[in-house]
Structure 1
């Protein structure tokens, strides 16, 4: 099983905590890091916008991504949430094994 990182931005800390707790409780992610407030700049609905957001980094395996994305979409307040899956090319083998064991069926 390939380990991946899933980067997600949220409207705020409470939403981020709710999503993180759901992902770990449901064994869709072995661990989720909540990054402190970030400032984002983007074009939305034809104009330059900016927002203060909270970012999540979830550690999981490729097989869990579809269910993880579905769980995030259920709890997320954005109509188009940023959910990006990033491959892990290498890492500390015992940690990668731990991630796989935490999300195993």
Structure 2
């Protein structure tokens, strides 16, 4: 992932609608993300501090570029209520080229 213009799909879970909207609004308003989709009603099962638990969460699907990822991650960590937020980025290898151009344009620094 060395090309700074590579478009990424980032995942981040939030504990509730309010925190998910706060993160989504900040990322788009600050041009760190071109678009954030909120997927409510997911169930996450995970091990935390030695205990397996299941919680309801909202999933954020965030579109950005490699160039903007570090700033996006820093902003998510500052806004997020979790001690250890999930911030995962996957490069998009195939997509509609005009859409990828739109993402790149929307997050130019």
Normalising by structure 1, report the TM-score: 0.98
- Separation in 2, partners of 1:51, 1:2: 33
Matched, 1:21 2:25: yes
Q: Which runs of 5+ in 2 are unaligned?
A: none
- Separation in 2, partners of 1:100, 1:72: 19
Q: Which runs of 5+ in 1 are unaligned?
A: none
- Number of equivalences: 105
Give the alignment's Cα RMSD to 1 decimal.
0.6
Corresponding residue for residue 97 of structure 1 = 101
Q: Which of 18, 27, 36 is residue 32 of structure 1 equivalent to?
A: 36
Corresponding residue for residue 11 of structure 1 = 15
User: Which 4+ residue blocks in structure 1 deviate beyond 2 angstroms?
Assistant: none
Q: Which of 48, 53, 58 is residue 54 of structure 1 equivalent to?
A: 58
Normalising by structure 2, report the TM-score: 0.94
